[in-house]
């Protein structure tokens, strides 16, 4: 593979140590094309995607659309991701800035049907208001402020984030507290019904639109 002038046995060993990769079939090529097109659309409509490091059962992607044209597009043309058209759970809440968020949760994946159904049932039947009380949110925000957070920059570098840093945003902190409370409640429910989340490789997706938020 490499073109070093004096190849020897080591070169062969190194060349041959490459892990297996996917054959680029027509289906894979089609997906690469779709990904390329959708990434452009998403990247140009998303003013900011905030990612926080956290130990959690599941992955949650929050796409936050900020103000103006981007928000109008989301509202008028229904720019929710395809899976979010039929979510398992949806709720609204008001950020410290006064902006109202709508969050949708769904696309539950995992290799165990009962585990998937446990997650879906949890969100389909959840009384969001009983969990997202002012007291619960205050407690969670206090806890978040004791934890380290990291911001990923576009160039791949990282910086401390969260309360007391230049990246602090009360809206972002509140949104994160909502997400953590719901995640913790789900963890507790899965333990209660005897689902081993690690063995089931469970994941779900979330999408949050918060027009006018101050990130």
Footprint of other proteins (CB under 8 A): 1-4, 6, 8-11, 13-25, 27-29, 31-36, 38-40, 42-45, 47, 49, 51, 53-56, 59-61, 63, 68-70, 73, 81, 83-84, 107, 150, 152, 154-158, 203, 205, 207
Q: Which is nearer to other proteins, 9 or 194 (CB)?
A: 9
Q: Which is nearer to other proteins, 15 or 138 (CB)?
A: 15
| Minimum CB–partner distance for residue 195 and other proteins (Å) | 19
Q: Which is nearer to other proteins, 45 or 117 (CB)?
A: 45
Instruction: Indicate the pairing of strand 149-152 with strand 203-209.
Output: unpaired
DSSP alpha helix (H) spans, 99-168: 113-125, 128-131, 134-144
| Minimum CB–partner distance for residue 16 and other proteins (Å) | 6
Q: Are the C-beta atoms of 168 and 215 separated by less than 8 Å?
A: no
79 vs 45: CA distance, rounded Å:
10
- Count other Cβ atoms within 10 Å, centred on residue 188: 11
Q: Which is nearer to other proteins, 61 or 142 (CB)?
A: 61
Q: What are phi and psi of 23, to 5 degrees?
A: -70, 130
89-94 sheet: strands from edge to edge = 89-94, 100-109, 203-209
| Minimum CB–partner distance for residue 10 and other proteins (Å) | 6
Q: Which is nearer to other proteins, 71 or 137 (CB)?
A: 71
Q: Record the tokens describing residue 141, joined without a space.
A: 């925000």
| Minimum CB–partner distance for residue 6 and other proteins (Å) | 7
Q: Are the C-beta atoms of 50 and 172 separated by less than 8 Å?
A: yes
| Minimum CB–partner distance for residue 138 and other proteins (Å) | 26
């Amino acid at each position: 593979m490499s073109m070093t002038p004096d190849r020897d046995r080591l070169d062969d060993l190194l060349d041959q140590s490459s892990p297996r990769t996917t054959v680029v079939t027509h289906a894979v090529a089609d997906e690469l094309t779709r990904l390329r097109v959708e990434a452009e659309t998403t990247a140009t409509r998303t003013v900011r995607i905030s990612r926080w490091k956290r130990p959690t059962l599941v992955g949650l992607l929050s796409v936050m659309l900020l103000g103006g044209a981007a928000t109008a597009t989301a509202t008028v043309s229904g720019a929710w991701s395809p899976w979010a058209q039929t979510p398992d759970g949806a709720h609204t809440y008001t950020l410290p800035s006064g902006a109202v968020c709508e969050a949708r949760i769904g696309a539950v994946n995992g290799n165990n049907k009962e585990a998937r159904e446990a997650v879906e049932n949890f969100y389909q039947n959840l009384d969001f208001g009983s969990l997202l009380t002012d007291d619960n949110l205050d407690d969670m925000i206090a806890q978040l402020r004791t934890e380290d957070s990291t911001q990923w920059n576009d160039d791949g570098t990282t910086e401390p984030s969260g309360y007391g840093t230049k990246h602090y945003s009360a809206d972002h902190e509140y949104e994160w507290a909502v997400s953590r409370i719901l995640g913790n409640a789900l963890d507790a429910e899965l333990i209660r019904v005897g689902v081993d989340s690690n063995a089931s490789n469970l994941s779900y997706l979330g999408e949050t639109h918060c027009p006018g938020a101050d990130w």
